[in-house]
Amino acid sequence: MDPVTAMFLIIAGGVLVGVCVHFIPASAVGAMSASTGIATGPSMLSFGAGLSGILSASFALDSGLAAMLASGAAGSTLMVVLTILGGNLVNAFGTGVPPVSGQTASGQSVLGSSTKDAITGWEQKPFVTPGTDGHGMPVQTAISGVIGGIIGGLGGAMVFFGVQFMFVPVSQEAAGLSGMIAAGIFLINCVLPAYTLVGKTEGMFDRKMLRVPKTFLSCLIVSTFLALIIYSTSTYASMGAT
Amino acid sequence: MLQLLLLGSALAGLLAFLAAIFENEDSDAGSASNPNSQVQLAPQIEHLHRYYNKAIAGEPPQNALWAALAATIAYILYSRLGMDPIPGVILGSVLGALIASLLQGMYGSLAHISRIASMKNFKQMLYWDSLLSPLPLSMTYTFFSALCLTLLSFVIHGLLGSPFPVPLIAMFLGFTLGAIASSTGDVHYGAERLYQHYTFGSGIAISKQGDIDVKGEYGYRNSVDTPYFTLRFGGPVTGLTFGLLILIDTLSRTSGSVWTSVILEFSIIALILIFIIYLEKYTRDRYGPFEEGK
Amino acid sequence: MSTGTSATSGGADIPSLKLFLISIITGLAAIYLQGYTAAYVFILIPLIWPAFVSSANGVRSLASYGLGTGTSSIGYWGTAVGATTVYAGMQMGLSPIVEISAALAGGAITGICAQKIIKMRIPVMVRESAILAASTAVIIRFLAGLFPEQVSLLFPLMYIAVTLAVLHPYNGSMGAGENQRRTLWLSRVEASMTTAVFGLVLLFIFPSMTGAGIILVSALGFAIFIRGWYRMVKKEIYGMSWTGFPAAEH
């Protein structure tokens, strides 16, 4: 592997991070059980998931790229799935509402006019509290969250691996430094989709999924810029060292 | 080696569980994070309140600051004092968490006073006692959660062998914990505690938002009353979520092979998904479709 | 600039470009003088406070448009751009001007993406994103220069402490009666708090006069700023009392 491949790895990772935010269901109004999705902002939640992925990936630092990517994906997905479990538990026993998708119930999701859950086939409409936009995380959004976790974990681990690869020759504390920089790149890329999503998404069956190309292009531009900075930094620094 | 890893996982799980409970109660005692919008909205629809309105930031960044500050100070003190690992780490962590909780108190009171000052048009008064009585409570919760997160970072760095330095692990865990706590435990505060006068078993319609409970068990409700309620359910569920995350993640790695741990984690994820499906089925059968007026 | 006669509306806002120019001049001066002042580096602390004010103002201008994402996201996004470029740049000993320009470009590129591709329709998006990223880069570069060694250990704390100091002034004073003057006073208070925290950390690393000096200078600043802020609060608040019940429903 050479530094140019590592640079492309950072760019690809950054784009994946941007896309993962679209898959993880999140909505701040969810905290009042007034909307489908995990009850916090999309960028915050994806960042939390991504960091637990990077932390998991750090344990596989010496086992090569594939092991690191797998470990990062596992860490992120575990965080997302457990958060969905916790959120559903509180919704079920703390608030007393079954998980239900508001957008599917109103027939506006990408599934067309169907008001049934895409995976279980359960009817959604009668379970929505009037005046709210669904609550909790029904099965279709949970599956979407798992996919988002895998994508985000892969992206985070890719960025981490790329940065780590470039910083090993120039720094004694490469792991910590590249962890910090990978977290920064993750963060920058997961705020951009939040602009696209306007604070709320139900995952892959949400109509906002159609806006992924915008996210993709913006994240591509921003990640390319950041990857170029890191690439030139490490190249000049290693030139200075030799 | 295996024993050390098992001890590390057990300690990590315990500390994570405690940290999450305390973190959730800290945010509830200060009406932080997403339910904050309801406390903020209340005076606009003439619900003048006596809540502590601690709008420091979203839960992940603020929690990451307390954890990172405590862990940085703990690590510096530990490496400078040259004491034995266990007393050194504990002493450093206690001091670090103390400083973090002092900073939290300052940020929290500045936020509360500023936010009330911005509510002049809605005739919201600043009651000093409604700031000063929950303040020590919320600071205590921050102290405990920062302490647990710092010790947890030392465990992950020292016993479990993460290559990241302690402050970085603490910041990561702080962010993750904040994201988890604001999406699990806060629902219990935002959807149930603030809206206890609505029937149990419904989400809060957008049109009802801001119509929060300002009266408590007796008299006006103060933020001290909040953890009394959320500690019964919201806090433990947050603890369960974050505790399970750390425990499963660390336990799966005791085998020593990366791929075994990945396969283990994904099979546990599949099990949790099946449980989520059964939970949804259970609630749908148990509660039935929504009926108006019930 | 407002003369301080108007109460709630706060008069005309200070233009963010002016705040940014002040912050970049004093900030760069502080960064370059760090090499000459050695142990007396604490006298430079007041020169870095304008950068906090400028970034807090950037957060305020962006977040007041309602972006569909929290105020905190803007704050930690801006600081991430500034911090990431500075941390990467410091590895090869880049000149601070290059690092800050890279952060400025990074902020501008993200702003252009948000404006042109995502179509946010926020007129100040590009300018304020660039200002926010560059001002936080100035702060982080200065703070990193305070510590002679072990500095990469402090990167997480620097990143997150600056994030809070930058996003909190607007997030903390949000509401119908929010105005720029009070938000910026709060930002000064929090700037001095943040530098005091780093003074404390420095004191723990090297128990020396420098760390104590930073804490002392920050405490002096804090004492001045908190008075200014509290004066504004007293002028603008509806009422204060030790205890009591809200009148409307009692």
pLDDT per residue as tens digits for the range A113-137: 788 888 888 888 888 888 888 888 9
Q: What is the pLDDT of residue A241?
A: 56
Q: What is the pLDDT of residue C105?
A: 92
| Residue for token pair 């993200």 | C110
Print the domain residue range for B196.
2-256
Tell me how far apart the alpha carbons of residues B191 and B209 are, in angstroms, rounded to a whole number: 10
Across the interface, of A177, A198, A217, the residue whose CB is closest to C68 is A198
Residues on chain A touching C152 (C-beta within 8 angstroms): 171, 173, 176-177, 180
Backbone phi, then psi, for B214, in 5-degree steps? -105, -15
On whether the pTM is more than 0.90, the answer is yes
Mean pLDDT along residues B8-23:
94
Whether residue C68 is predicted with pLDDT greater than 70 in this model: the reply is no
| CA distance, residue B21 to nearest chain A CA (Å) | 13
Q: What is the pLDDT of residue B202?
A: 81
Residues on chain A touching C133 (C-beta within 8 angstroms): none
Is B20 a domain residue? yes
Backbone phi, then psi, for B179, in 5-degree steps? -65, -40
Whether residue A203 is predicted with pLDDT greater than 90 in this model: the reply is no
Whether residue A239 is predicted with pLDDT greater than 80 in this model: the reply is no
> Looking at the 3D structure of chain C, how many domains does it have?
1
| CA distance, residue B2 to nearest chain C CA (Å) | 29
Mean pLDDT score of chain C: 85
Whether residue B234 is predicted with pLDDT greater than 50 in this model: the reply is yes
- Kindly provide the ipTM of the predicted complex, given to two decimals: 0.93
Q: Quick check: C247 contacting A, CB < 8 Å?
A: no
Q: What is the pLDDT of residue B173?
A: 94
Among chain A residues, the shortest Cα distance to B245 is held by: A79
Q: What is the pLDDT of residue B73?
A: 94
Is B218 a domain residue? yes
Q: What is the pLDDT of residue C173?
A: 87
> Looking at the 3D structure of chain B, how many domains does it have?
1
Q: Quick check: A41 contacting B, CB < 8 Å?
A: yes
- Is there a contact between B125 and C244 if contact means CB atoms under 8 Å apart? yes
Whether residue B217 is predicted with pLDDT greater than 60 in this model: the reply is yes
Distances (CA, A) of B91 to B77, B82, B99, B150, C26: 8, 12, 13, 11, 39
pLDDT single digits (tens) A31-58: 888 888 888 888 888 999 999 999 999 9
How many Cβ atoms sit within 10 Å of the Cβ of residue B86? 9
| Residue B293 pLDDT level (bands cut at 50, 70, 90) | low
Among chain A residues, the shortest Cα distance to C102 is held by: A229
Query: pLDDT over 70 for what percent of chain C?
Result: 92
| Residue A159 pLDDT level (bands cut at 50, 70, 90) | very high
Is B290 a domain residue? no
Is B109 a domain residue? yes
Mean pLDDT along residues A152-158:
94
Distances (CA, A) of A131 to A34, B38, B57, B291, C2: 8, 16, 28, 13, 44
In the structure encoding, which two tokens stand for residue B201, read together? Answer: 């078993």
- Is there a contact between B57 and C171 if contact means CB atoms under 8 Å apart? yes
Q: Quick check: B126 contacting C, CB < 8 Å?
A: yes
| CA distance, residue A64 to nearest chain B CA (Å) | 10
Q: What is the pLDDT of residue A170?
A: 76
Spatial contact of A20 and A155, defined as CB atoms under 8 Å apart:
yes
Out of A187-196, B73-82, B95-104, B124-133, which region has the weakest mean confidence (pLDDT)?
A: A187-196
| CA distance, residue B120 to nearest chain C CA (Å) | 5
- Is there a contact between B262 and A130 if contact means CB atoms under 8 Å apart? no
Residue A33, SS3 per DSSP: coil
Interface test with B, best of A21, A83, A124 (most B CBs within 10 A): A83
Q: What is the pLDDT of residue A148?
A: 94
Q: What is the pLDDT of residue C199?
A: 93
Q: What is the pLDDT of residue C6?
A: 35
| Residue C7 pLDDT level (bands cut at 50, 70, 90) | very low
Mean pLDDT along residues C100-129:
87
Q: What is the pLDDT of residue B165?
A: 92
Burial, B80: exposed, middle or buried (Cβ in 10 Å; 0-12, 13-18, 19+)? middle
pLDDT single digits (tens) A142-151: 999 999 999 9
Interface test with B, best of C59, C160, C162 (most B CBs within 10 A): C160
Is C156 a domain residue? yes
Is C185 a domain residue? no
| CA distance, residue C156 to nearest chain A CA (Å) | 7
Q: How far apart are the first and last CA of chain C?
A: 42
Cβ neighbors of A194 (< 8 A, separation 6 or more) are A21, A41, A42, A43, C68, C69, C73
The subunits that touch chain A, with at least 3 C-beta pairs less than 8 Å apart, are: B, C
Q: What is the pLDDT of residue C150?
A: 63
Whether residue C3 is predicted with pLDDT greater than 60 in this model: the reply is no
Q: What is the pLDDT of residue C8?
A: 41
Interface test with A, best of B40, B176, B278 (most A CBs within 10 A): B176
Whether residue C198 is predicted with pLDDT greater than 90 in this model: the reply is yes
Mean pLDDT score of chain B: 90
Q: Quick check: A31 contacting B, CB < 8 Å?
A: yes
Is B277 a domain residue? no
Residues on chain C touching B64 (C-beta within 8 angstroms): 160
Print the domain residue range for C143.
16-175
pLDDT single digits (tens) C151-194: 788 999 999 999 999 999 998 888 888 888 899 999 999 999 99
| Residue C2 pLDDT level (bands cut at 50, 70, 90) | very low
Mean pLDDT along residues C32-59:
89
How many Cβ atoms sit within 10 Å of the Cβ of residue B187? 33
pLDDT single digits (tens) B150-204: 999 999 998 888 889 999 999 999 999 999 998 898 889 888 888 888 888 888 8
Q: What is the pLDDT of residue A173?
A: 78
